[in-house]
Amino acid sequence: MKQPSQIRNIAIIAHVDHGKTTLVDAMLKQSRIFRENQQVAERVMDSNELERERGITILSKNTAIEYKGIKINIVDTPGHADFGGEVERVMNMVDGVLLLVDAVEGPMPQTRFVLRKALERGHKAIVVVNKIDRPNARPDEVVNETFDLFVDLGATDEQADFSVIYASAIKGWAGTEPDRLADTLEPLFERIVADLPAPDVDPSGPTQLQATLMGYDEYKGKIVIGRLNSGTIRRNQNVLWMRADGTSQPLKVAQVFTHRGLNRIEVEEAAAGDIIALTGLGDVGIGDTIADPDDPRPLPPIKVEEPTLRVTIGVNTSPFAGREGKYVTSRKLRERLYLEAAKDVALRVSDTDSPDVFLVAGRGELHLGIMIENMRREGYEFQVSKPEVIMKRIDGQLCEPFETVEIEVTSEHQGAVVELLGQRKGRMQDMQIREDGMVFLQYLVPTRGLIGFRQQFLTATRGEGVMNTLFAGYEPYVGEIQTRNFGSLIAWESGVATTYGLHAAQDRGQLFIEPNTEVYEGMIVGQHIRETDLEVNVCKKKQLTNFRAAGSDEALRLEPPRKMSLDDAIEYLADDELLEVTPVAFRLRKRYLTKSERKRAQAVKKEG
């Protein structure tokens, strides 16, 4: 067992894509965790399939290395603000942070978010200026901007007096001067051991651990991960499970694990200060305390910011229901959603008046979209509504969530972006023209106005614009926002789409489907060029005759259909539309499938 003075617990925090996971890769390789001939994947910490596909970290994960007799527990955290719940709870079990900042981009919106969480916990930081080998690197300006950020966030004098390491994570180089890098990460390891504190724990006190992360193993079941704040814990020890609501229950620890590299090593006993994993604790949830039955001392529950966006998720009611999914009942859906809420403290799940529909609230479209994609891959079939913001009454006034939006565009696209944000009730906060000709814009925009904005932004900037958002708080409701200036093309009968039918429909807008796609009445098959919806017959077949006109047999030309990702499909939805999600496909549809039902619903809405 390591003594607390021989342990450092650190989190690596940064804006998305600034190189956190790549740095962890380099630290693991240089600490001789892997065999000389072992094949190691890039971004080895991004073990989740979705993380590898999207190139982002979604779940916090921990590993451990040893340097000169000091054990360094490292937690790799997400950089995207939608997964801020992961960052907030991790801060409970570390004693210091490595703040990664890109040597070209400098501090970004989510750098502010993750750093604020670390400073609130009183943690000290080492600033790592990463990607120092990039051609346009500006290390001095980036360090100054980072210092200004510390001051803006109310850092103490001790916190603002941070050490700076310059690094190229991809090459595994680091140094204390930007132009003098060692060909190893030795300078970084030295600074971690010297500057970041050992855990402040009580080795001789009663057992006390807070469940901070959850894992799962097919054979061991649920794995509870957290830092042991006090005392020791051993295999087969009797403990008390103390819930956030004040109730408690006796349990027995089955196994105790510590971390080494990417592996969990089973031990007989672990001491205070180490980040450990426990099995045999049943339904223990995030934020619950594992304590000594003879001297139970609960830890304060983990507090995270409230969700700002919600959707309804319900049993699939389309004509294709049950054909493609493995789990299709409301019971299975409810179990899965509440299991997700137990693992993700930033997610809220609640029942509705209908037993087949559940209300799910999260931090943003990406947060909810990742959960939906994971469920789809697991075999669940369900339908999702358009995301809507969660309003609040503050001092009797109706308020809605706002986001800080930072955008980089070329000067030729600046006008289009300013016009789009103006339509969505955005307020410009700052505008700068940089030396390279790029225009930097900062806006305060209602979260409602950003739903469905990404696709329009990419179209307006021809894919060259860069946009980052960060939750800014609640402000008074700003009135109606027109976020969608198009309608949908709706299939007016069930059947199989034909080239002839699609050719006739493509003049009315942009199609989403190909010939031979099976459709049903009320399914959305394309985007209308006008603001109203239009029923089209995509199953129409050409009438055969005995006559042949010149040119009648020429092949009909179809424009390639627009292929949408799951995120695009969620963004597309209108208030009266749903997204049918199955393991095989996802389909856009109207909430009411027949024309008569839609007319009746519109009449009721007008009367209301």
Q: Is 568 a known ligand-binding residue?
A: no
Of residues 437, 465, 435, the one with CA closest to residue 141: 435
- Of 19-28, 239-248, 504-513, the range with the lowest mean pLDDT is 19-28
Q: What radius of gyration do the chain's Cα atoms show? A: 27
Percent of the chain with pLDDT over 90: 52
DSSP, residue by residue, 530-587: SSS-EEE-TT--PPP-S---TTTTSPPP-PPPPPPPHHHHHHH--TTEEEEE-SS-EE
Alpha-carbon span 417 to 410, nearest angstrom: 10
CB 250 within 8 A of CB 54: no
**CA–CA separation, 347 and 307 (whole Å):** 7
Amino acid residing at 107: P
In the predicted structure, residue 605 carries a pLDDT above the cut 90:
no
pLDDT at 305 over 80: no
Report helix, strand or coil for 249: strand
Looking at residue 387, the DSSP 8-state letter turns out to be: P
- Give the other-Cβ count within 10 Å of 238's Cβ: 12
454 burial class (0-12, 13-18, 19+ CB within 10 angstroms)? middle
Judge whether 541 is annotated as a binding position: no
Half-sphere exposure of 372 (CA within 13 A, CB side): 31
Quickly tell me which residue has 């995301």 as its tokens: 387
Distance CA 199, CA 93 (A): 9
User: Residue length, the chain?
Assistant: 608
Q: One-letter amino acid identity for 386?
A: K
Q: How far apart are CA 316 and CA 376, in angstroms?
A: 12
Torsion of CA 406, 409, 414, 419, to 10 degrees: -50
**What is the predicted pLDDT for the residue at 399?**
95
The verdict on whether residue 133 carries a ligand-binding annotation is yes
* Mode of pairing for the β-strands spanning 263-267 and 269-271: unpaired
Terminal CA-CA length for the chain:
68
pLDDT at position 175, please?
93
Residues 6+ apart with CB under 8 A from 53: none
Determine if residue 546 is labeled as part of a ligand binding site: no
344 is in an annotated binding site: no
Spatial separation of the C-alpha atoms in residues 301 and 293, rounded to whole Å: 19
Residue 82 marked ligand-binding: no
Domains in the chain: ranges and CATH: 4-195 (3.40.50.300), 208-291 (2.40.30.10), 309-388 (3.30.70.870), 392-476 (3.30.70.240), 488-563 (2.40.50.250)
Q: Which two tokens stand for residue 343?
A: 């693992």
Lowest mean pLDDT among 38-47, 102-111, 161-170, 479-488: 38-47
Question: Known binder of ligand: residue 469?
Answer: no
Q: What is the DSSP letter of 321?
A: T
pLDDT, average across residues 386-411: 91
Sign of the CA dihedral with 141 first, then 146, 147, and 151 last:
positive
516 vs 245: which has the higher pLDDT: 516
Q: How far is CA 248 from CA 2, 70, 241, 477, 492, in A?
A: 30, 36, 5, 42, 57
131 labelled binding-site residue? yes
Q: What is the mean pLDDT of the chain?
A: 86
Task: Read off the pLDDT of residues 405-437 as tens digits, 9 standing for 90 and up.
Answer: 888 888 888 999 999 999 999 999 999 887 777
